[in-house]
Structure 1
Amino acid sequence: MSVNPNIADSHDVIEVRGARENNLADVSLDIPKRRLTVFTGVSGSGKSSLVFGTIAAESQRLINETYTAFIQSFMPSLGRPDVDALRNLSAAIVVDQERMGVNSRSTVGTATDAQTMLRIIFSRLGTPHVGTSTAFSFNSAEGMCPACEGLGRVTDVDVAGLVDTELSLNEGAITVPGFAVGSWYWKVLAESGFFDPDVKLKDFTAAEWDDFLYKPATKIKQSGINTSYEGLVVKVQRVYLSKDRESMQSHVRAFADRAVTFTTCRTCGGARLNQAALSSLIDGRNIADCSSMQISDLAEFVRQIDDPSVAPLVATLRGTLESLVEIGLGYLSLDRESGTLSGGEAQRVKMVRHLGSSLTDVTYVFDEPTVGLHPHDIRRMNDLLLRLRDKGNTVLVVEHKPETIEIADHVVDLGPGAGTAGGQICYTGDVAGLRASSTLTGRHLDHRARLRETARRPTGQLSITGATANNLKNVSVDLPLGVLTVVTGVAGSGKSSLIHGSLPRRDGVVVVDQSAIRGSRRSNPATYTGLLDPVRTAFAKANGVKPALFSANSEGACPNCKGIGLVYTDLAMMAGVASVCEQCEGKRFTPEVLTYKLRGKDISEVLAMSVSEARDFFTSGPARAVLDRLADVGLGYLGLGQPLTTLSGGERQRLKLAIHMAEKAAIYVLDEPTTGLHLADVDQLLALLDRLVDDGNTVIVIEHHQAVMAHADWIVDLGPGAGHDGGQIVFTGPPADLVAHGDTLTAQHLRDYVRT
């Protein structure tokens, strides 16, 4: 749309011309290279469409095209973004908040290469010497514990979860998925000849019971075919329980949860390694001891290693560990499984990997790197962003927090609104110019929420007694009822352990978090909130037909794409691709259904509306009630038919909150509800929290945003630090008292915030 004339040399800028991805309105701009550029704007304004969907996507697509067709067959198929031209791109590395996978063999140590460096150091200096670095790897046959195969835990099968002993095999005694009467697995057991399939399991002899459950793989002949027989427990262990839990199908996962318990491996004590690896020591510690230490303590331990033969390696490892501490992750340990990290923690772990890279002139792309960070930790994050820039890289950051906007060399503000009301460049330039501009971001950059003049009076208390989860040090605290309480403290101080470890199972408590919403690619806000039901009813009533016609999961679905709007094509050796359905043109419904109108709109056009547009269309009734709640939580820009898989963590949380607002809840627990919210939207969130409390509810919020802290009736501050340096209550009381008399990190930053 507008090109900054102050950026002179075209080779020093990324040129974007005519970007139209999603809601971008033919955007053109220049982004300075080797500078830190922050992209701002309300949720849904087009920031991610520009940065991730256009710039980063095209860079990665072009890199993939340099590989051979064979290599490309193992890569995801990336379509070209809807843009006229992109010039002077450099290789883009996206450092996002996606979880780092759920493979239990992946840990913080393996993800950062710190574990590899530690293994080499032990292979050189450990006494007694036991072998090369692979001898210290729980992912290699040479180093893993033979009992648990390097997982640190073993599975115990509860036989009662596998069978009903009151039945015979022919009567369906086996309750394991895939072992139904007549199935192949069932036939191998039932027709093995080791027992009578008509005899109830409870009447098996001891030998038959042992053969049925535990007989190792044995060659047998059935119906003239050679096959292999395994006892049921042996088969279940091999077929199902050797898989990672998260890779299981939902019904198999439910079975595993019912029939299997995970216990610490007795052979290695959970250390994952064999006895030879655990016998090798440096200064009295083995490698498992080091991996389980808090990273800040491990960094101190590594500093004491003084041997010229490994000096360069020790220096590199020390740098990695100190970077983890610097970025606010010193409370983690190297043996922490990657899948247990939050989105913000995962993003910061990925960031540390790139800090040690020798690459320069790379484009690093970050998605709200301050998520989950206390103001104290945001300063550290800012320093790391600047370090990446100062190595000669281009750093692009999508962000809402003013602390990070302040350090930008260049700002691109999108808007002015969200969805169809956004997608335009409202401002490009430096921070001073943004502050002086009349844009929504510029007006709110120095906005401060004020401390409450009068705090609400509690109606009672909710007691937590003797909490010891994770790093909590026998914490007891009374949470006031009938008010807004904010639980805060630096990342890793114990906030989530205290609240999520103590409250979710109590009566009347509704936990609204950012976890993924279960559902297929068919799920969208309309189906998830129940909005589709009154919409279908309205269409059916207006046209005198069945409501089922207006469901893309039922009778009205396009037969070609089955109501998805896309056709997924398996290209065998090449990666599969999704293309818009040619029959319905992505509208998801049959031509007949699209002839039925409601006030001039067909069902596809209604599902294409944003929440705000739909509120103007549905002016009353149950549909309007749902839409009002979605607007109340700041999701007015969300498309009714937008797949749930495309929502951010913050959007998922607010969607869940909109649903729970229809219930009669006593206690709401929210986890960082400001995630993804523009400065201007935070006030709307505070008004919503007030309304929940004023309606007689208790609201408990885990939050770092100072505006929410200042607005609270009561604050619970944990610390004083993270990990074993935290886990204690360092303050409870009104925010005004914390500002006036507190000496915690939270007190210092809140004091600066309200007095600025």
Structure 2
Amino acid sequence: MSKRPPAHPADSHDLIRVHGARVNNLNDISVELPKRRLTVFTGVSGSGKSSLVFDTIAAESQRLINETYSAFLQGFMPTLARPEVDVLDGLTTAIIVDQQRLGSDPRSTVGTATDANAMLRILFSRLGEPHIGSPQAFSFNVLSISGAGAVTMERGGTTTKERREFNITGGMCPRCEGRGKVSDIDLTQLYDDSKSIAEGAFTIPGWKSDNRWTVGLYAQSGFLDPHKPIRKFTKREMRDFLHKEPVKVKVDGVNLTYEGLIPKIQKSFLSKDKEAMQPHIRAFVERAVTFGVCPDCDGTRLTEGARSSKIDGVSIADACSMQITDLAEWVRGLKKPSVAPLLEKLLHTIESFVEIGLGYLSLDRPAGTLSGGEAQRVKMIRHLGSSLTDVTYVFDEPTIGLHPHDIQRMNNLLERLRNKGNTVLVVEHKPETIAIADHVVDLGPGAGTAGGTVCYEGDLKGLRASGTVTGRHLDDRAKLKESVRTASGALEIRGANANNLCDVDVDIPLGVLCVITGVAGSGKSSLIHGSMPADAGVVTVDQTAIKGSRRSNPATYTGLLEPIRKAFAKANNVKPALFSANSEGACPACNGAGLIFTELGFMETVSRTCEECDGKRFQAAVLEYRFGGKDIAEVLGMSVLDAREFFAEGEARTPAAHAILDRLADVGLGYLSLGQPLTTLSGGERQRLKLATHMGEKGGVYVLDEPTTGLHLADVEQLLGLLDRLVDSGKSVIVVEHHQAVMAHADWIIDLGPGAGHDGGKVVFEGTPADLVAAKSTLTGEHLAAYVA
């Protein structure tokens, strides 16, 4: 363990004091956290860790910092409410390093998300041959433009205007606009060319005949004959219809902008995040648009000029496509005294990727394709070389997605940040990271309303002796199974070469619990998600965002709301639609959202609780109806466990609802409320919610991607029981996992490696857990052998 900084007097200046915190489920708690130390927050899922660390401490730090800006600048920032807490002092600037994805902007890459791309652009602008210009000439976010304009000059009190030519040389490929991909729109999905516009030719969602801004605009533009079938348009009409540049026209006496259908669709649909769209809009976009590699830049995003300038035969596109470990080797070999400081800084950044376990990535990897754990580690790179001290770093399970072999490296990085004089707050479940804590805060004892209290606060030794759920399970070790199941068949994968896979041939056994292991970047996901036979009938249960709006919740997603609505309708002799906030029962003021959203143009959308329904989402008249003594809003406010008890017996007995609630409880989501927005769930919670929806199905091949993510030590045993029940019910279960307890419980293990990136991509072991432990021939085998009892 690395050396800790010297101790400081335990006065109020060396503590972050939280007294009377009541955010979410926090039960009026008080804690005092030592500054310049590493504090780990533990407790079962839903116990209140994030509510204390992120929603109270980090949120108040961010709010106070925002208040230091001018009123003008604050107008561009989201309005942050003060957390519900009596005393919160001793705060320093909080830097949040969470698992939020880095966004789906197609121009954002691993290189642009860090400083690596910026430094490479400077390097090539100085050393690249032929010399093509400044750093922006190598940027795929800067377009090349030229023209002329008036410049105002003032000399000796005299103001003059001069006309000057300008020429901006950017590196953006003009065809794909720096995206590396081009979209092709299927026109048959936009309109029926056998009909005229007046006959309703458009098949675009929301384009109705009475809409002045869409159908009306094209019908009354004057460029087209609205009564002529589209297939009979002249060449000029077709050009104006599909491609015309923006031009002002008058429709019903109102000035509107007309433009061709293709650019209009691109602006209306393709420039928006697909995941944030309503389901029917998303389905339309997926039907109408296909993406392919840009033929002009071959996916590099860069102009031919940017690609032609090279250093020792390597272009900036070549450098960005290298595996980062190889890029580090190339940079080390550049002996150029004129740019020595730049090379030193660039090498430090690139080596930080390797040190943090991301050496298998490339700088041109789209940021949106990174997992939550990878995104969090990329964010860490920004801070490792920072000169800032005495700030508070807040981490959300930084070991997610890490093989046991890599956890020690992550621990070293957390200790480095602390040793520079920073306060490090970590929400974590892994005992290896809890072990390096200077201070531990254990919340619980349960989840939801059963949590929210401080069960223990102190050092690691005290935690072990505390008798809390975390303390009792801290030293848990799994045992190898005495007997394993026999496969009933196999999924054959032959010649798999997706990403870094090296023509892998492997048989994945069916009818058993098969665990896929290997260090991060070894090829696990490429094998399971990229190489499965198309006809295998695989159901993937992963941690990606659930497609749906902010109105979606566990009750709507699992189908639970349907039997609940019918039960309310039958008991009150009214229509089921009344008990849906998305249908007839919706509050008219907020349309059933529970919130009023105010769009402020270029500023961030502001939301506030609807005063009409007090956030309950339903009309007042609907809340008069009761079932089992409760209204529909009260039922949706229940936790899964409370609702399971409510629907189990008596006048509220509803077997269909109870069965779904049983499955939600089985996957460890008993603490969620039925009406909680899906947008508030973590990746692990989303995965378990998806799993619950599939558990009632018969047969099938299930792929689970790190299902222990976000699970407390005490919950892992429950997960293992669930996996067993899935297999025993006739399902084949394939789990991509790093947790040794899941490995030990497997019937069969397929281990990939031996390393990451081009050092991986091979099957290095196939067999039972016992054989892997006995052989100790791989990194996974070594760590599993050290773990099992």
What band does the TM-score fall into relative to the shorter chain?
A: over 0.9
1:274 aligns with 2:303: yes
Give distance in 2, aligned partners of 1:112 and 1:694. 47
User: Post-superposition shift, 1:216?
Assistant: 5.5
- 1:365-444 equivalence runs, <5 A: 365-444=394-473
User: Post-superposition shift, 1:193?
Assistant: 5.9
TM-score (norm 2): 0.90
1:466 aligns with 2:495: yes
1:480 aligns with 2:482: no
The answer for the alignment partner of 2:648 in structure 1 is 619
* Alignment deviations for residues 561-613 of structure 1 (CA, whole Å, 9 cap, x no partner): 33333334557897554333334333333444334333333332222221111
- 1:94-493 equivalence runs, <5 A: 94-141=96-143, 142-177=170-205, 180-181=208-209, 183-187=212-216, 189-190=218-219, 196-204=225-233, 209-210=238-239, 212-214=241-243, 230-233=259-262, 235-237=264-266, 240-241=269-270, 251-493=280-522
Q: After the TM superposition, which of the residue ranges 9-18 and 515-524 deviates more from structure 2? A: 515-524
CA contact (8 A) 1:504 1:511 kept: no
Q: Secondary structure at the match of 1:86?
A: strand
Give distance in 2, aligned partners of 1:581 and 1:175. 35
Give distance in 2, aligned partners of 1:455 and 1:108. 42
The answer for the alignment partner of 1:26 in structure 2 is 28
**Identical aligned pairs, as a percentage?**
69
CA contact (8 A) 2:46 2:451 kept: yes
The answer for the alignment partner of 1:548 in structure 2 is 577
* Alignment deviations for residues 426-466 of structure 1 (CA, whole Å, 9 cap, x no partner): 11111111112211111111101111111111111111122
Q: After the TM superposition, which of the residue ranges 731-740 and 566-575 deviates more from structure 2? A: 566-575
Give distance in 1, aligned partners of 2:625 and 2:280. 38
Residues 699 and 160 of structure 1: is their aligned pair in 2 closer, same or farther, counting only changes over 3 Å? Answer: same
User: Post-superposition shift, 1:23?
Assistant: 1.0
The answer for the alignment partner of 1:739 in structure 2 is 773
User: Post-superposition shift, 1:15?
Assistant: 0.6
Residues 427 and 737 of structure 1: is their aligned pair in 2 closer, same or farther, counting only changes over 3 Å? Answer: same
CA contact (8 A) 2:240 2:260 kept: yes
Letter in 2 for 1:721: G
1:628 aligns with 2:662: yes
1:524 aligns with 2:558: no
Give distance in 2, aligned partners of 1:673 and 1:353. 29
CA contact (8 A) 1:73 1:573 kept: no
Residues 158 and 643 of structure 1: is their aligned pair in 2 closer, same or farther, counting only changes over 3 Å? Answer: closer
Letter in 1 for 2:552: S
CA contact (8 A) 1:59 1:92 kept: yes
* Alignment deviations for residues 96-122 of structure 1 (CA, whole Å, 9 cap, x no partner): 111111111111111111000111111
Q: Secondary structure at the match of 1:729?
A: strand
Equivalent residue for 2:72, pick from 70, 73, 76: 70
CA contact (8 A) 1:509 1:665 kept: no
Q: Secondary structure at the match of 2:314?
A: coil
Q: After the TM superposition, which of the residue ranges 608-617 and 505-514 deviates more from structure 2? A: 505-514
CA contact (8 A) 1:93 1:365 kept: yes
CA contact (8 A) 2:216 2:251 kept: no
CA contact (8 A) 1:217 1:229 kept: yes
Residues 227 and 681 of structure 1: is their aligned pair in 2 closer, same or farther, counting only changes over 3 Å? Answer: closer
Residues 238 and 95 of structure 1: is their aligned pair in 2 closer, same or farther, counting only changes over 3 Å? Answer: closer
Give distance in 2, aligned partners of 1:223 and 1:591. 40
Letter in 2 for 1:319: H
CA contact (8 A) 1:548 1:555 kept: yes
Give distance in 2, aligned partners of 1:160 and 1:475. 40
Letter in 2 for 1:81: P
Q: Secondary structure at the match of 1:83?
A: coil
Residues 388 and 481 of structure 1: is their aligned pair in 2 closer, same or farther, counting only changes over 3 Å? Answer: same
Give distance in 1, aligned partners of 2:499 and 2:464. 43
Give distance in 1, aligned partners of 2:17 and 2:454. 14
Residues 451 and 78 of structure 1: is their aligned pair in 2 closer, same or farther, counting only changes over 3 Å? Answer: same
Q: After the TM superposition, which of the residue ranges 145-154 and 682-691 deviates more from structure 2? A: 145-154
How many residues were matched structurally? 750
Q: After the TM superposition, which of the residue ranges 424-433 and 215-224 deviates more from structure 2? A: 215-224
Residues 220 and 636 of structure 1: is their aligned pair in 2 closer, same or farther, counting only changes over 3 Å? Answer: closer
CA contact (8 A) 1:24 1:422 kept: yes
Q: Secondary structure at the match of 2:417?
A: helix
Q: Secondary structure at the match of 1:323?
A: helix
Give distance in 2, aligned partners of 1:431 and 1:569. 48
Give distance in 1, aligned partners of 2:594 and 2:513. 43
Q: Secondary structure at the match of 2:486?
A: coil
TM-score (norm 1): 0.94
Letter in 1 for 2:611: E
Residues 657 and 504 of structure 1: is their aligned pair in 2 closer, same or farther, counting only changes over 3 Å? Answer: farther
User: Post-superposition shift, 1:414?
Assistant: 0.5
Give distance in 2, aligned partners of 1:191 and 1:565. 39
1:683 aligns with 2:717: yes
* Alignment deviations for residues 620-648 of structure 1 (CA, whole Å, 9 cap, x no partner): 51121111111111111111221111111
CA contact (8 A) 1:488 1:717 kept: yes
User: Post-superposition shift, 1:248?
Assistant: 6.2
Q: Secondary structure at the match of 2:494?
A: strand
User: Post-superposition shift, 1:659?
Assistant: 1.1
* Alignment deviations for residues 102-153 of structure 1 (CA, whole Å, 9 cap, x no partner): 1111111111110001111111111222111111111112222233222222
Q: After the TM superposition, which of the residue ranges 257-266 and 617-626 deviates more from structure 2? A: 257-266
Give distance in 1, aligned partners of 2:721 and 2:495. 34
User: Post-superposition shift, 1:212?
Assistant: 4.3
* Alignment deviations for residues 450-499 of structure 1 (CA, whole Å, 9 cap, x no partner): 11111111111111122221111121211111110001111111111111
Q: After the TM superposition, which of the residue ranges 156-165 and 477-486 deviates more from structure 2? A: 156-165
Give distance in 2, aligned partners of 1:593 and 1:227. 42
Q: In angstroms, what is the RMSD of aligned CA positions?
A: 2.5
Residues 22 and 252 of structure 1: is their aligned pair in 2 closer, same or farther, counting only changes over 3 Å? Answer: closer
Letter in 2 for 1:589: F
The answer for the alignment partner of 1:80 in structure 2 is 82
Residues 740 and 67 of structure 1: is their aligned pair in 2 closer, same or farther, counting only changes over 3 Å? Answer: same
Letter in 2 for 1:56: A
Letter in 1 for 2:746: A
Q: After the TM superposition, which of the residue ranges 469-478 and 107-116 deviates more from structure 2? A: 469-478
Residues 159 and 410 of structure 1: is their aligned pair in 2 closer, same or farther, counting only changes over 3 Å? Answer: same
* Alignment deviations for residues 344-385 of structure 1 (CA, whole Å, 9 cap, x no partner): 111110011111111111100011111111111111111111
Residues 110 and 619 of structure 1: is their aligned pair in 2 closer, same or farther, counting only changes over 3 Å? Answer: same
User: Post-superposition shift, 1:524?
Assistant: 1.6
The answer for the alignment partner of 1:3 in structure 2 is none
User: Post-superposition shift, 1:205?
Assistant: 5.2
CA contact (8 A) 1:7 1:32 kept: no
User: Post-superposition shift, 1:170?
Assistant: 2.9
CA contact (8 A) 1:73 1:575 kept: no
The answer for the alignment partner of 1:645 in structure 2 is 679
CA contact (8 A) 2:182 2:294 kept: yes
1:752 aligns with 2:778: no
Letter in 2 for 1:151: R
Letter in 2 for 1:393: N
Letter in 2 for 1:162: L
Q: After the TM superposition, which of the residue ranges 161-170 and 399-408 deviates more from structure 2? A: 161-170
Give distance in 2, aligned partners of 1:430 and 1:450. 28
Residues 580 and 251 of structure 1: is their aligned pair in 2 closer, same or farther, counting only changes over 3 Å? Answer: closer
Letter in 1 for 2:509: P
Q: After the TM superposition, which of the residue ranges 611-620 and 129-138 deviates more from structure 2? A: 611-620
User: Post-superposition shift, 1:233?
Assistant: 3.9
